[in-house]
Amino acid sequence: MEMLRVAGMDDVVVHRWHVEFERRAPEGHQNFLVFLGITGRRVVKIRARSWLGWLLSRYFCRYWMTASVRLWMPSLV
C-alpha cells in the first residue's frame, strides 16, 4: 500500500484498481494478495468488496444512462 500511496493513488483509485483486477483476473488477484502476505478473511473481504464494487458500478452506470436518456432525450425512449 505504501508504494501505491507514494505513486499518488488515493483510496478511491486503489479501490478501482482492485475492482478492475478482480474483474479481469480473479485468480490472479487472489494470488497477488497472497503474494503480498495478505491471508484469510482479509483476502476474502478485499475480493468481495472488489466484486461488489464492479457489480454496483455496472448497475448504477446502466441506471444513470437510462435515467439521463429519459430526462434529456425523451423522444428516444
Q: pLDDT tens for the chain, 77 residues: list them.
A: 788 788 888 887 888 888 889 889 999 999 999 999 999 999 998 898 888 877 777 666 655 555 544 555 455 44
Q: What is the 3-state secondary structure (H, E, C) of 9-61?
A: CCHHHHHHHHHHHHHHCHHHHHHHHHHCCCCHHHHHHHHHHHHHHHHHHHHHH
Query: Where is 76: in which H helix or E strand?
Result: none
CA 17: distance to chain centroid?
Answer: 6
What pLDDT, on the 0 to 100 scale, is given for residue 76?
43
Q: Where are the domains of the chain?
A: 2-76
Cα(29)–Cα(67) distance, integer angstroms:
34
